[in-house]
C-alpha cells in the first residue's frame, strides 16, 4: 500500500487496519463454503456475527479516512495463493485467530504513531478491543481443533 499523503501517518495506520479487516480470514471464511461439522450451527452463526462486525468496522474506517482527506486503500488478500475453500470451519477459525493475532500485534505497535490525534487514537483503541474480543470468540469456534 502506498502512502496516501506525504507524512500522513494517521491515514497509513488506518489503511493498514482497513486492509487487515477487509482481507481477514474471517471475511474469507464467511464466503468460502467451509465444511461445517454436524452440530456446529452456533459456531457458524458466531463466525458470521464476527464477519458482520468487521464489515461495520471497515465502513467506519473508510469514513474516518475520508474525513482525514485520505484515500481508503486495500491490498490483495494476503493468502491469495492458498486454497482455503471447503476446509473445516474449525480449521478456518484457528487460521483466523492466527491472522487476528498478527493484526492485533501490528495495531498495538502502531498506536504510538497516532497518540497526538485523540480521535484516531480513540478509534484505534476501540478497534483493538474489538479485535481482541474476536480473538476470544474465534477460539470458541475453533474449539480444540488442531491443538
Assess whether pLDDT exceeds 50 at residue 48. Answer: yes
Tell me the residue range of the domain where 125 lies: 9-142
On average, the pLDDT of the chain sits at 91
Q: What is the CATH number of the domain that holds 117?
A: 1.20.1260.10
Domain membership flag for residue 22: yes
Distance (Å, whole) CA 129 – CA 54: 12
Domain membership flag for residue 64: yes
Q: Which residues pair with 88 in a beta bridge?
A: 35
pLDDT value, residue 30: 80
Distance (Å, whole) CA 83 – CA 88: 12
- For residues 38-49, give the mean pLDDT: 95
In the chain, how many domains are there?
1
Enter the pTM of the model. 0.90
Q: Which of 76, 53, 16 is nearest to 131 (CA)?
A: 53
Assess whether pLDDT exceeds 80 at residue 43. Answer: yes
pLDDT value, residue 146: 58
pLDDT, tens digit (0-9, with 9 covering 90-100), for 2-28? 444 444 899 999 999 999 999 999 999
Distance (Å, whole) CA 77 – CA 140: 25
Domain membership flag for residue 3: no
Domain membership flag for residue 65: yes
- For residues 70-87, give the mean pLDDT: 87
Domain membership flag for residue 4: no
pLDDT, tens digit (0-9, with 9 covering 90-100), for 122-139? 999 999 999 999 999 999
Amino acid at each position: 500500500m502506498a502512502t496516501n499523503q506525504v507524512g500522513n501517518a494517521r491515514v497509513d495506520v488506518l489503511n493498514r487496519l482497513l486492509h487487515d479487516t477487509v482481507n481477514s480470514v474471517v471475511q474469507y471464511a464467511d464466503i468460502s463454503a467451509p465444511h461445517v461439522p454436524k452440530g456446529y450451527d452456533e459456531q457458524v452463526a458466531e463466525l458470521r456475527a464476527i464477519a458482520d462486525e468487521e464489515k461495520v468496522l471497515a465502513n467506519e474506517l473508510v469514513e474516518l479516512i475520508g474525513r482525514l482527506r485520505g484515500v481508503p486503500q486495500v491490498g490483495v488478500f494476503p493468502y491469495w495463493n492458498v486454497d482455503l475453500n471447503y476446509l473445516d470451519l474449525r480449521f478456518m477459525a484457528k487460521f483466523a485467530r492466527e491472522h487476528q493475532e498478527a493484526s492485533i500485534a501490528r495495531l498495538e505497535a502502531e498506536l504510538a504513531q497516532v497518540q497526538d490525534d485523540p480521535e484516531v487514537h480513540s478509534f484505534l483503541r476501540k478497534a483493538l478491543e474489538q479485535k481482541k474480543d474476536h480473538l476470544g470468540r474465534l477460539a470458541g469456534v475453533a474449539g480444540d481443533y488442531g491443538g
